[in-house]
Each structure stands twice: as C-alpha cells, then as structure tokens.
Structure 1
Amino acid sequence: MKRILALFCIYLALVAPAATAADMVAPDVLVRDVTNEVLAIVRADKAIQAGDTHRVLQLVDAKVLPHFDFRRMTMLAVGRDWRDASPAQQAKLTEAFRTLLVRTYSNALTQYRDQVIDFKPSRAADADTRVQIRTEVKQAGAQPIGIDYMLEKTDKGWKVFDVVVAGVSLVTNYRSNFAQEIRNGGVDGLIRSIEDKNRSLEAEQARQ
C-alpha cells in the first residue's frame, strides 16, 4: 500500500495557466498534458533521480500545490469532527495536513523510472462541475495500478480534492487515524500529532 500511494505524488502534478470560465482547459486534457510535462522534467533532472528531496519539494511546490484544494481535502479527512474545530484550528489542521502530504510523498518522485500512464477516456459532460479522471499506471513485472483524480470546477480553475489509488481514497485513508487522534486528545491533539510527524519527516529527509 505504501508503494502504491507513493506513486500519488508522481502523477498529481496538475498545473496550468490561470483560466477563466470561458477558456478553462478540460480536466482530462489538463491531467494528461501537464502530467506528461512533469514526468519529462523528472526524466531530465539528475538531481531528482539521485534523491535530492529539496529539488523534489521545489517541483511539487511549483507544479502541484496551487491546484489542490487542501482545505477541502483536510475537511474530508477529518470528517464530522471538522465542524467542532474553531476557524483557527481548521487553519492549523489544513496547513499541517498539507505539509504532511507533501513531506510524505515527495520522496516518491525520485522513484520514477519508466512507468507508463494510460489516460482513460473522460465521461465528463461540459456542464459537470465535479469530475473523475481515470488513469492507469503500468509497470514492468507488476499489475497496473488505477489512479483516479477527483476534481471540482471553481472560479480559479479545476481543483483536486481527492485521489483514489487502487480503489482507496487518499482522504478517507487518513480518516480513521485522525478520528482516533481526536478521541485521544481532541482537535489540538490531532494538530500536535500531525506536526510531530512533519518534524520527523523533515529530519529524516535532512539526513538523506
């Protein structure tokens, strides 16, 4: 499961110039074109291939983060307890979870070698405001892995609010753990737990 989810960061580089509602790029085109662009960068960047996490973080920051709705992702991961959190707690949770996702999966980009991505035909209609874009990652000697992107149309373009890897939702995957942390220490306890994990990941990456 860890290896499957590690592929998440490789294929989530969904970025495009800011678009108005009139000229917004279709979500399937966005996923296909920009994913190919990012993988081309990875193939050409020897530092990333050698495990330079700083370069990976730069790439993720430039190509991925602006096009994810981290607040919505955090709300879905926290579940019903989100409503009980204060606005300040919600902001801290969002920032901590955003950092956790970036830190957890930044190393995955260095693992890319020769995987092939098959982009499935989109079933979305022009009037849809939420779409599921399906892809399949093919690797030599292994079963293909399905990665589906859940996107929502906003006035700032299409935003990713969940990723489903091999049938497992990214945000739902965290929900039971987050619920347990809240039962043990409340919302502040969850914030501390995520921040502790982030510090541990940062120290681990600094040693590499």
Structure 2
Amino acid sequence: MKKLFLSLCLFLSIGASMAADPVTPPGARATAALIAPDALVRDVSSDVLAIVRDDHAIRAGDTGRVVSLVEEKVLPHFNFRRMTMLAVGKDWRQATPEQQKELVDVFRTLLVRTYSNALTQYRNQVIEYKPARFGAADTTVRVQTEVRQAGAQPINIDYVLEKTDRGWKVFDVVVAGVSLVTNYRGTFAQEIRAGGIDGLIRSLHAKTQELSGPAERS
C-alpha cells in the first residue's frame, strides 16, 4: 500500500504534460463544469506544479501550506463519497448516516495528508498523457498516463472519472494496474471485522494523526 500511495502522490504532484492536441486552447481556461476529463487532469497538475516550483515554503517542507494548496486546487475534482463507498464495499450499508459522513471526512483527510506530504518531495518528474478515448455520451472515463523519472522505470497511473452535474470528478486511481479503492477495500474489511465501523473510523483517525505535523497534532 505504501508503494501504491507514493506512486499516486507522485502522479498528483507533477504536471509537465507532453500530450498532443490539448482540449483547452492556449490562453483559455474552461470552467470545471465544461472542461473535458483529460484536459482537467492536465490543467490541475500543471497548476499545482507551477505553485510548488515557485513556492519556497512548500519546497522546504511546509506541509500546512501544501495542505491548503491541495484543498484549493485538487479536492474539488474528487468524489470522496464515492471513493469511500467503493473502498468500504458491502460494509458501507451497515454504517449509519453519521458514520458514513465521518468515514468520508476522515478518509478524505487521510488522502490529503498523504498527498501533501509527498508533494513537498517534488523533483523533476514528467507525465506523458496517452491519447484519450471517449465519446460525448460517455459518463465514465479513464485518463491514462505514464510517469517518467530519470533512473527509474516508468509508472502507469490512470485516473477514473465520472461525469456529474458539477463537472468531471475522480473516483479512483489505478497505479501499475492496482486500483486505489480496491487496494483499500481489503484493509478496511479487516478493520471492520476487528472493530466494526467505529473501529475503522478510529484506525483512519490514527493514521491521519501519524501523517500530521507536530503543529497540527498539538
């Protein structure tokens, strides 16, 4: 899981696109509700990269600053409720509405903390975006990418997005053929068997605290 997370965060942390035929014309920015899914992935990555490259505090490891960046630039494009439902699987139905809300909130926070910590480690990785294949009527799309870094094997990382009335939203990430939500499902099932839904919530809170900086834990 650690390798999966690091690969995911590596993808989210970089945005040097080598894709041809961008959907969004140069000098123009479509709204999130109108932009195509492949263009959305490229644009968000490019925005984040530009900020990280120029922000000395983030490059120095200021996780509080990078958390704010993630919440502003990245989170609006994820469907964390669906991600959580898929990760919890069949046990989602046994959770109360209050437990479901807390599961979504704490899982979201865990992913943000993990991503934010990794974002401070940005170097000079490059993403190659593969040609997108989807039609106007499609409501679920996979954006395929390959992350390249000198001295390392390329990593295939894909985003799975769904079309909503608020634009395209990511609900899964597939790293080297392994689904993020499927990978979590096994761990979540073990936690639920051991301590129920509340046990899973406690476990996620504990993992989030481990990833928080000293100032956030105080």
2:146–2:157: 8 Å Cα contact kept in structure 1? Answer: yes
1:135-184 deviation digits (Å, cap 9, x = unpaired): 11100000001110000000000000000112111111111111011101
* TM-score, normalised relative to structure 1: 0.90
Deviates more, 1:153-162 or 1:29-38: 29-38
- Quote the Cα distance in structure 2 between the aligned partners of 1:69 and 1:177: 20
In the other structure, the counterpart of 1:56 is 66
Please report how far the alpha carbon of residue 37 of structure 1 lies from its aligned counterpart in structure 2 after TM superposition.
Answer: 2.1
Q: 2:139 aligns with which of 105, 129, 136?
A: 129
SS at match of 1:153: strand
User: What residue identity is the alignment partner of 1:113?
Assistant: R
- Quote the Cα distance in structure 2 between the aligned partners of 1:16 and 1:42: 22
1:19-67 deviation digits (Å, cap 9, x = unpaired): 2xxxx11111111223122211111111111111011101101011111
CA RMSD of aligned residues (A): 2.1
* TM-score, normalised relative to structure 2: 0.86
SS at match of 2:124: coil
- Quote the Cα distance in structure 2 between the aligned partners of 1:16 and 1:175: 35
- Quote the Cα distance in structure 1 between the aligned partners of 2:86 and 2:5: 18
Percent identity at matched positions?
A: 67
User: What residue identity is the alignment partner of 2:151?
Assistant: G
In the other structure, the counterpart of 2:76 is 66
SS at match of 2:120: helix
Deviates more, 1:150-159 or 1:186-195: 186-195
Unaligned ranges ≥5, structure 1: none
- Quote the Cα distance in structure 1 between the aligned partners of 2:155 and 2:165: 32
Q: How many residues align?
A: 203
Q: 1:17 aligns with which of 15, 20, 31?
A: 31
Matched, 1:75 2:85: yes
2:44–2:74: 8 Å Cα contact kept in structure 1? Answer: no
2:12–2:115: 8 Å Cα contact kept in structure 1? Answer: no
Which segments of structure 1 move beyond 4 Å, counting only runs of 4 or more? 13-16, 203-207
SS at match of 1:140: coil
In the other structure, the counterpart of 2:124 is 114
2:5–2:114: 8 Å Cα contact kept in structure 1? Answer: no
In the other structure, the counterpart of 1:185 is 195
Deviates more, 1:27-36 or 1:106-115: 27-36
1:135–1:146: 8 Å Cα contact kept in structure 2? Answer: yes
